[in-house]
Chain A
Amino acid sequence: MYDFEYHKPSSVADAVKILAADPDARAISGGMTLLPALKLRLNKPTAVVDLSGIADLRGVKRDGNKIVIGALTKHYEVATSAEVKAAIPALAAMAASIGDTQVRNRGTMGGSVANNDPSADYPAALLALGATIQTDRRTISADDFFQGMFATALEAGELVTAIHIPVPEKAGYAKMRNPASRYSMAGVFVAKGPAGVRVAVNGAGNNGSYRHAGMEAALSANWSADAVAGIKVDPSDMNGDIHGSAEYRAHLVTVMAKRAVTNAG
């Protein structure tokens, strides 16, 4: 990789200050996406701002009918959190399926959310669960936050600090992994919660994770795998590559939706 300056601020304010002063600086938390990109020299930041020294951004707590997860909470911590397992077992199970053990031991929820990789798991979960993303300066609903492939509502230098997730009545997740990379090539998170029935898709769409209105309507009327089984997803909205055509991914979205509902119970 190219060399860069390294900063390790101890507060959100300091981190934001450094990032604001240098538009080519990049924040790093777990580094599970940034470092592979840097190693392949796909990215040339002037500085890397390590957030791991900031206290209070890590941990899970229950706050009334919400689960609040600090941005620097690692996937493994989400997967094994007693609060998450009790309140949103589907989210814990999903976190336990991200990447591999070593990714889960380093990667953070905030990093994944801020990156909004189309084949990452969290964005679809947060869309389906109707979460709210808290940053250093404001709160943003998941619907507004995720704006297509690698695009979010974050301004330059704005940092995710926590994620607030309403506890759903039920939720479930299923994904088909890309055989080589093991990232999701079609994943569906379904939830029935305070904001109604919501269904979000990752990995398959040609513009990142998104909600599927047709499936939401069908499940609102009838919460069962059969309700989504007949819903055809439009291949023109899908990605295609050597691992599967758009038609295949469209088909998988329906299959994973069925399985997610089954998993939700």
Chain B
Amino acid sequence: MPQVSLTVNGTKHTVEVEARTLLVELLREKLRLTGTHVGCDTSQCGACVVHMGGDSIKSCTILAVQCEGASVTTIEGLAAADGTLHPMQEAFREYHALQCGFCTPGMVMSAIDLVNKHPDGLSEKEIREGLEGNLCRCTGYHNIVKAIAAASDVMQGRTAELTPAAAE
């Protein structure tokens, strides 16, 4: 059986897999990192998005063996060692950008890549279009869009702290 060596959330793993094994299957079944989800079989829903070499990718549409030598970050690898949430995670919580939580890991990973690739900030339209590869059935995206805008301000230093969601 083929072997693949890769780094996931900073830890190096060498795993035996069938050639047909997808990265998401390796993560969920071999490494027990079940935060990365599978919501479709047509590479559309984005519940499986992780970062590889800093880019967001769909871990359901890449073979595990294609990840030889790669550095992968999953939702489990985002928060700091002391438990401090990544600004994007914090923003999703503050803005109620998740309900059932199933799309959330992929949504957060996509959102971080989106912000990273727009160093000068994002318009609402750019955020909405940038989420094309991620489906959410619960929120209607409204609060996700707001959370990403707020997180981008923190990630890119425009605000020192997360702007609180508007009080009711």
DSSP majority for the A interface?
A: mixed
Q: How many chain-B residues does the 8 Å CB contact rule pick out?
A: 30
A182 CB-CB contact with B under 8 Å: yes
Query: In the complex, what distance in Å separates the CA atom of A182 from the CA atom of B133?
Result: 10
B66:A31 contact, CB within 8 angstroms: yes
B144 lies within 8 A of chain A by Cβ: no
CB neighbours of B41 from chain A (8 A): 39-40
Q: Which of A56-64, A101-109, A251-259 lies at the interface with chain B?
A: A101-109
B165: Cβ under 8 A from any A Cβ = no
In the bound complex, residues from chain B placing their C-beta under 8 Å from that of A181 are 44
A155 at the interface (CB under 8 A from B): no
Q: Scan B27-61; emit 1 where CB is below 8 A from any A CB, else 0.
A: 00000000000000111101001000001111011
A to B contact number (C-beta, < 8 Å): 79
CB-based contact B133/A106 at 8 Å: no
Contact A32 B19, CB 8 Å, known A99-B133, A101-B133: no
Q: Is B10 part of the contact surface with A, judged by Cβ < 8 Å?
A: no
Pick the contact of A36: B20, B61, B110 (CB < 8 A).
B61
* B-side interface mostly: loop
Say if the beta carbon of A241 comes within 8 Å of chain B: no
Q: Chain B: residues with CB nearer than 8 A to chain A?
A: 2, 18-20, 22, 41-44, 46, 49, 55-58, 60-63, 65-66, 68, 110, 113-114, 117, 130, 132-134
Extra 15 A-B pairs, beta carbons < 8 Å, given A100-B132, A101-B133? A4-B19, A4-B20, A31-B61, A32-B61, A36-B61, A38-B20, A39-B41, A48-B63, A100-B134, A101-B113, A101-B132, A102-B56, A102-B57, A102-B110, A106-B57
